[in-house]
Structure 1
Amino acid sequence: MTPTFRAALWMIGSIGSFSAMAVAGRELSARFDTFEVMLYRSVIGVIIVVTLAGATGAWRQINTRNFGTQLLRNLAHFTGQNLWFLAVSLIPLAQVFALEFTSPLWVIVLSIFLLGERLTATRALAAVLGFIGILIVARPDIGNLNTGILAAAGCAVFFALTNVLTKRLTRTQGITTILFYLTTLQLIFGLISAGYDGDIALPTADTAPFLLLVGACGLLAHFCLTNALSLAPATVVVPIDFVRLPAIAVVGMLLYGEVLDVWVFIGAGIIFAGNYLNLWFETRKPHIW
């Protein structure tokens, strides 16, 4: 198999994992609040990461350098993920994914302030296209703008902040350290947020499989995506990732009777155009090493 074909197979795994996590999150929303879902997701994540790190000896890489950045990164991710789970419980799944796809465009904006990167004309155009796409998907007005839309749009901003801080961490930290703090810190955040009132909903025979699905798919999705990016350029991988939108739209229609909204697809197409334009230009710039 060619590297591109192997990357496509990894992306199928990523798309399936993200979609399964969205369905599991919605199924859990009637019994658990978002903090409780994140608590159990983090418990499962800690078990997986610690087990793999111990089995491979990678636990020796874990250190306390850049702890402040680790803390800020995981606060951003915890906030974004809670908003994401809130959004999937309130609005059509396709609308959530379409707004989530603006995250790379927010990275452009945040990188200027946090990484000192320059705002080029292409990046500015990509950001503008993303904003236009948001307006088409959300179609904000007094009667249409709701908590779910605001949560989905907000999660994209916090995911972008997470990605920018992750990029900063990768300059000095390995993947094992990043994943260790990702799971352990968010376990602490989840325990505090879910347990502050002394009442944490416990898993049942009906909900345990969905909680396991959320925890496993959360890590598996990013593992598949990382492998895909290691095999093929981002300009190949990102268009495949956008298949998540029609895929989750069909899932939402079959499982929940959600209507296929043409404006969501049009807005997502404009968001994709902004993402792809920026990627295409960036990968063709001469790099000085």
Structure 2
Amino acid sequence: MSLSAPSAIIPPVAQFGPGLAWMALSMCSFIGMSVGSREMAATMSIRQVLFFRALVGLLVILAVGRALFPEVRRMAQLRLHLLRNVIHFTGQYLWTIGIVLLPLASVFALEFTMPIWVTLFAWLLLRERLSRPRLLATVGGFIGVMVIVRPGVGMVDPAALLVLAAAAAYGMSLILVKRLTQHCSPGAIVVWMILIQLPLGLAFAVTDWQPVQAASIPWMLVAGIGALAAHYSQAQALKRLDASILIPIDFLRVPMAAVVGYSLYGEAIDLWVVLGGGIILMSNFQAVMAERRSRRSTTSA
């Protein structure tokens, strides 16, 4: 894996196969990070999980990302990096709690509300226009969440609310990343993420430190490398294919997580999660397709 500048542009047809391959690697990496985090949490605190995940990320950066250090030393947009990573770290903490307490498929289905939060925050903070398709996607996403958590049928699991809060934090984080990309390379943003979140993780981990067992070390590697590989592979896929193609592919993480959860942990496959996740998926998918058609019409005109 390299965090260097992107390669030359290749025609879209030639990019289709590599784009799908990068997306498959991203999905597998997200699942691997989830399993690694859950296994680590069996013997250590969640705060330690975040710390060791970032520590492994630092080791990877030192191995493959040294070319980015001159840019990082310029410390451009440091305050914005700090704000973004505090929010992202909070989201990771809440998300990891969800991974430990909820079935894997439920976590990933609820996480797919993130595009809805991005739309809301972009409208509130960046003054971006809230189009009709995006408004309908927000309503559809809300309905999908209600199907998954089913309030009134039974007590809503607090962990599900934590995952929704994590998705909101990830949405805000993406808005801040959008601002950062105007001044920093994607690789530098990743390096700053590790440099800021590592001491944050350590500061929180020492307040709830548990003895580290040798059996947890392989899971540290799985979670840490999986986290970096997931985001890097996703970015590579987005360079090659439109989001309208990748959104339905990425949703395969939900049934993949259900199979892994069933195989490793005996988690029942909840059809309500599949139904609600499908509603969230289709709501976002129709919004992306509508905006794509609108861009094509504008270009043609």
For 1:211, which of 210, 216, 220 is the aligned residue? 220
Aligned pair 1:255/2:267, yes or no? no
CA deviations 1:29-82 (Å, max 9, x no partner) are 22122211110111111121233222xx22212132211111111011101111
Contact 2:77 2:180 in 1 (8 A): yes
Listed as ranges, the matches of 1:111-130 within 5 Å are 111-130=122-141
CA contact (8 A) 2:48 2:201 kept: yes
Query: TM-score with structure 1 length normalisation?
Result: 0.94
Contact 1:136 1:263 in 2 (8 A): yes
Letter of the structure 1 residue corresponding to residue 230 of structure 2: A
The residue that corresponds to 1:278 in the other structure is: 287
Amino acid in the other structure paired with 2:84: R
Letter in 2 for 1:231: R
> What amino acid sits opposite 2:69 in the alignment?
W
Compute the displacement of 1:268 (Å).
0.4
Paired residue secondary structure (2:215): coil
Partner amino acid for 1:33? S
Could you give the per-residue CA deviations for residues 257-279 of structure 1, whole angstroms, max 9, x where no partner exists? 11111111110011001111121
Quote the residue 1:38 is aligned against: 50
CA distance in 2, matches of 1:88, 1:69: 28
1:208 is aligned with what amino acid?
I
Give deviations 1:187-216, integer Å, cap 9, x for gaps. 111111111x3x523432210000111110
1:232 maps onto 2:244 in alignment? no
In the alignment, which residue of structure 2 is the partner of 1:23? 35
Q: Is 1:47 aligned to residue 59 of structure 2?
A: yes
More displaced stretch, 57-66 vs 161-170: 57-66
1:59 equivalent among 69, 73, 86? 69
Farther off after superposition, 45-54 or 247-256? 45-54
2:195 matched to which residue of 1?
Answer: 184
Percentage of matched positions with identical amino acids:
36
- Quote the Cα distance in structure 1 between the aligned partners of 2:151 and 2:204: 30
CA RMSD of aligned residues (A): 1.5
CA contact (8 A) 1:87 1:151 kept: yes
Deviates more, 1:173-182 or 1:142-151: 142-151
- Indicate which of 94, 97, 102 corresponds to 1:91: 102
Query: Taking structure 1 as reference, are residues 282 and 50 closer, same or farther at Cα in structure 2, changes over 3 Å only?
Result: farther
**Structure 2 alignment gaps of length 5 or more:** 1-12
TM-score (norm 2): 0.90
